[in-house]
Amino acid sequence: MSRTVLITGATGSVSSALLDALDGSALALRALVRDRSRAGALERRGVEVVVGDLGDPSTLPPAFKGVNDVWLLTAMDPRAPENSMNAVWAARQAGVERVVRLSAIGAAHDAPTRNGRLHALSDHELQASGLRWTILRPHAFMQNLLWQAGRIAHDGTFSLNMAQGRLGMIDLRDVADVAAHILRAEPERHHGKIYTPSGPETLSYAEAAEQLGQVLGRTIHYVAADAEDAHAGMVAGGIPHWLAGMFVEYGQALGSGFGDFTTTDVEDVVGRPPRRFADFARDHVAAFAA
Ligand SMILES: NC(=O)c1ccc[n+]([C@@H]2O[C@H](COP(=O)([O-])OP(=O)(O)OC[C@H]3O[C@@H](n4cnc5c(N)ncnc54)[C@H](OP(=O)(O)O)[C@@H]3O)[C@@H](O)[C@H]2O)c1
């Protein structure tokens, strides 16, 4: 009998890519959504849709019933540890065998960002849960640049408070491919492992701008902002205050060398090298085009 996998965060970026990566697999896919009206695309691709909210444990038992494996993704939010806790508890109650959890780069109790410290709480809870577990702590996503795609299209600039920090940033489709390989493998295979998937090279955002410009055929400039301006710009662009503050913390950490590394984890798990920034740029030309 095929294993049933519950995909959380199913309307979001990483889990959508994971569903793509699991297309055609023998796994029975079930997606947890908060709002069924947003699940049309999931239903059209043949995924079973269940409604539930990780913030409300009373909604979770039907979603977790009969599930073998959970892909556990929590949105960046101060309540993420509570949401993760509710999912792990529901998994234990339902007899789930394995949880594969999306954490973040450098998650630790002394991480320089609130997101990293919040993820550490949930990582450690899962590790102590008695369930089989695998944790992914990916590097910063190349797709973060899409948040400024409109500005890049408009005036050829983007702005971050990352100074000239170098990052082993990763295409989130490679994070999804790593997760898909793990979920397809038997539960023992990756149990107890923490992976830190990264891209194949470290780049500064000035270098990323140059590569993006080459693909787009026009000059793109990276503007190194200070923390205050970066925060004000994000809030003006509609990003909630908490998230903007947290992104500024990442900017400061990454600008100071926190992300200046690569790993071989994508190739080790998937068996091919990760996508380069230039691949990401070519695949997203339409989003950045003027
Ligand atoms: N961006 C990066 O560079 C980076 C790097 C490493 C790790 N990460 C990690 O990646 C994760 C974010 O992934 P993403 O970019 O795919 O997120 P995303 O696109 O923002 O999607 C978040 C998903 O979570 C769902 N969700 C939010 N609150 C929920 C709740 N209470 N109950 C059930 N579902 C809920 C949303 O559903 P709705 O449709 O209902 O809103 C949506 O499907 C975070 O944990 C972050 O730390 C990010």
Q: CATH: 3.40.50.150, 1.10.10.10, 3.40.50.720, 3.40.1350.10. Which one for 4-137?
A: 3.40.50.720
Per residue in 138-172, pLDDT tens? 999 999 999 999 999 999 999 999 999 999 999 99
* Contact predicate 74/103, CB 8 Å: no
Confidence of residue 32 (pLDDT cuts 50, 70, 90): very high
Q: Which residue has the higher pLDDT, 233 or 135?
A: 135
218 C-alpha to center of ligand 1: Å?
Answer: 32
193 C-alpha to center of ligand 1: Å?
Answer: 22
**4-137 and 142-167+199-260+273-287 share one fold:** no
Coil, strand or helix at 190 = coil
Coil, strand or helix at 221 = strand
Domain ranges of the chain: 4-137, 142-167+199-260+273-287
Coil, strand or helix at 288 = helix
Mean pLDDT of 172-178: 99
Q: What does the pLDDT read at residue 239?
A: 92
* Contact predicate 139/187, CB 8 Å: no
- Give the phi and the psi of residue 275 in degrees, each rounded to 5: -65, 145
Q: Does 1 score more than 80 pLDDT?
A: no
Confidence of residue 237 (pLDDT cuts 50, 70, 90): confident
Per residue in 34-80, pLDDT tens? 999 999 999 999 999 999 999 999 999 999 999 999 999 999 999 99
CATH architecture of 142-167+199-260+273-287: Alpha-Beta Complex (3.90)
Would strands 203-204 and 166-167 be described as parallel, antiparallel, or unpaired?
Answer: antiparallel
User: 26: exposed, middle or buried (C-beta count within 10 Å: 0-12, 13-18, 19+)?
Assistant: exposed
0.95 cut: is pTM over it? yes
* Contact predicate 272/178, CB 8 Å: no
* Contact predicate 69/134, CB 8 Å: no
Q: Does 100 score more than 90 pLDDT?
A: yes
Q: What atom of ligand 1 comes closest to residue 74's alpha carbon?
A: 45
CB of 29 sitting under 6 A from ligand 1: no
130 C-alpha to center of ligand 1: Å?
Answer: 25
CB of 138 sitting under 6 A from ligand 1: yes
Mean pLDDT of 92-115: 98
How far is Cα 36 from Cα 111, in angstroms, rounded to an integer?
36
Per residue in 183-224, pLDDT tens? 999 999 999 999 999 999 999 999 999 999 999 999 999 999
